Amino acid sequence: DAKTTQPTSMDCAEGRAANLPCNHSTISGNEYVYWYRQIHSQGPQYIIHGLKNNETNEMASLIITEDRKSSTLILPHATLRDTAVYYCIVRVGSGNTPLVFGKGTRLSVIA
Amino acid sequence: DAGVTQSPTHLIKTRGQQVTLRCSPKSGHDTVSWYQQALGQGPQFIFQYYEEEERQRGNFPDRFSGHQFPNYSSELNVNALLLGDSALYLCASSLGASQGDQPQHFGDGTRLSIL
């Protein structure tokens, strides 16, 4: 079973920041927080991951609370192309560890 | 730099038949994982191949089998197809365990429909 809890759906106005929360209260010390998104009819796309420090890349920022029990994915300027299902996954840091997906958050970006 | 490629993109089969799906990993990746995604659900892990051997397996019956070739490409075989096998089958590639923390990268999948 997935070790994360996410809202089922969220809306965001185009051009505004989209903040997607994720709870992972049972996360272990060696588990990373990964975010993927899946646009309709495509495979999941890797966005970002982190262990305990905040991370930023060209797609998004990841904010992890100090106790590591929750995190927030931030899309700074959402566009219509960011409409997708976003999955938050906790996973031991290894390229071979399988991903356990929950149902994710369906983000709708509205013009 | 080619990403993960899967073929075919769509496939229609009937109950009882057998199917083979194919995956080429991202350049430089040596590990291939397969996932099944039913409509409206998140992907579920089927199994993983590394160094041409099945290394890990999810909760799927023996009807699901696979293979990895020396060039790291992989096949997923499903025998005795059931209606419930209708799904999007996803392939993900990554670097091996010795490479430490690495994300998996996905292809766009094969949509399998069973009639």
- The model's confidence at residue B99, banded by pLDDT at 50, 70 and 90, is low
Q: Is A35 on the interface with B (CB under 8 A)?
A: no
> CA nearest A51 in B: which residue?
B101
Q: Look at B48 and A96 and tell me if their CB atoms are within 8 Å.
A: yes
> Which helix (H) or strand (E) is B12 found in, with range?
strand B10-13
Residue type at position A7: P
Please tell me the distance from the alpha carbon of residue A69 to that of residue A52, in angstroms, as a whole number: 10
- B positions 24-63 inside 8 Å of A (CB): 31, 33, 35, 41-45, 48, 50, 55-56, 58
Alpha helix locations (H) across A1-111?
Answer: none
Query: For residue B85, which phi and psi values (nearest 5 degrees)?
Result: -80, -5
Record the tokens describing residue B47, joined without a space: 């199994």
pLDDT tens series, chain A, 111 aa: 778 999 999 999 999 999 999 999 999 988 999 999 999 889 999 999 999 989 999 999 999 999 999 999 999 999 999 999 999 999 887 768 899 999 999 999 999
Q: Look at B45 and A95 and tell me if their CB atoms are within 8 Å.
A: no
- Which pLDDT score, from 0 to 100, does residue A96 have? 81
